[in-house]
Homo-oligomer: A and B are copies of this chain.
Amino acid sequence: MNKKRRLSSQEYIDGILDGDRLVLSRAITLIESTNTLDIVQAREVLAGVISHSGNSLRIGITGVPGVGKSTFIETFGTYITGEGRQLAVLTIDPTSQLTHGSILGDKTRMEELSRNPNAFIRPSASGDALGGVSNKTREVILLCEAAGFDVIFVETVGVGQSETLVKGMVDFFLLLMLAGAGDELQGIKKGIMEMADAVVINKADGENLKAAKRAKAEYQSALHLFPEANSGWIPQVKTCSAQEGTGLEEIWDMIQQYANRVQGNDFFEKNRQKQQLNWMREHVNALLINNFYEAEQVKEILPKIIEQVESGELPALNAAVQLIDSLNQK
């Protein structure tokens, strides 16, 4: 495949449906592009593959830096591919608001998995806009599913904002923790704990084993304090050692148990429907805002309005109303 040549939408579609990794990679780049031509083509490609999407188990994985996320994904992912699954790993990293830093070198972080023919690792562009990040990753999930991946990991670092996004696009949400990280840490994770379908305590090995078991009991009773999830599923706590490869089978069994259960009681479908509606609303918002600032009337008066707001002449709220009115009075 000539890297320079622009693929036609049909070539993208055929390549994705054939499971061609190179074409999939390029399609993801296309989806993430902000170039107008690319956006139009991305929409065509997505429309062409969407009926082949949806057939995966989408698993969100989160945890603070230091918890061993990379190693966990590496060994757990290897285990899952060993079970005959095709695994795609997508990472979202909104850590650094100021420097726009990104998780460095995913392929270095997960060396073994990156060479695994049944795995596909791809960092997701970390845009500025909340909706932006979310939209793109959702589309990438669909592409991966159309390319035949039947398990998708969506990985994110533990910083509040991204968890909510990821929770909104996965079927199962797994929180990776450490034993003995203190109450402060548990405190900060409260909002995230509530989202978890499972808490996995990593590094349950060597001298840590005892503390991990104790933490397991503590988390298990803490999780009982939360209101019952709509899924009817009671969040479970597991221990594992990603380093030593222990506990992985139990975690995978649990996830499959969950899948069976929620597919049985319709929650799986209902949850995806709700996610679809939220996605629709987010996309409406993104389009509205984009179209607004592209409008001639707005472009015309915006510089002056900005000037007036900066000089303090015009309060921000009034400025917003004036901008909106400029479009209505066409």
Task: Point out the residues of chain B lying under 8 angstroms from A130, CB to CB.
Answer: 130
Question: Per-position contact with B for A315-329: 1 when CB-CB < 8 Å, else 0?
Answer: 111111101100000
**Cα distance A187–B97 in the bound complex, in angstroms:** 14
User: Do A97 and B280 have beta carbons less than 8 Å apart?
Assistant: no
Interface size on A, residues (CB 8 A): 65
User: Do A47 and B280 have beta carbons less than 8 Å apart?
Assistant: no
Check if A111 is an interface residue, CB within 8 A of chain B: no
Cβ-defined partner of A277 (8 Å) among B47, B182, B281, B309: B309
User: Do A324 and B184 have beta carbons less than 8 Å apart?
Assistant: no
Task: Point out the residues of chain B lying under 8 angstroms from A17, CB to CB.
Answer: none
Task: Point out the residues of chain B lying under 8 angstroms from A323, CB to CB.
Answer: 280, 284
> Closest B-chain residue to A321, C-beta based?
B287
**Cα distance A307–B277 in the bound complex, in angstroms:** 10
User: Do A65 and B276 have beta carbons less than 8 Å apart?
Assistant: no
> Closest B-chain residue to A315, C-beta based?
B50
Copies in the complex: 2
Cβ-defined partner of A280 (8 Å) among B94, B183, B185, B309: B309
A21 → B minimal CB distance (Å): 24
User: Do B66 and A191 have beta carbons less than 8 Å apart?
Assistant: no
> Closest B-chain residue to A272, C-beta based?
B312
**Which chain A residues numbered 292 to 317 have a C-beta less than 8 Å away from chain B?**
292, 305-306, 309-310, 312, 315-317
User: Do B287 and A288 have beta carbons less than 8 Å apart?
Assistant: no
User: Do A188 and B164 have beta carbons less than 8 Å apart?
Assistant: no
User: Do B288 and A65 have beta carbons less than 8 Å apart?
Assistant: no
**6 contacts across the A-B interface (CB closer than 8 A):** A50-B315, A65-B188, A65-B190, A276-B312, A288-B289, A291-B324
Residues of chain A at the chain B interface (Cβ within 8 Å): 43, 46-47, 50, 54, 64-67, 94-99, 130, 139, 158-162, 164, 178, 181-185, 187-188, 190-191, 194-195, 226-227, 273, 276-277, 279-281, 283-285, 287-289, 291-292, 305-306, 309-310, 312, 315-321, 323-324
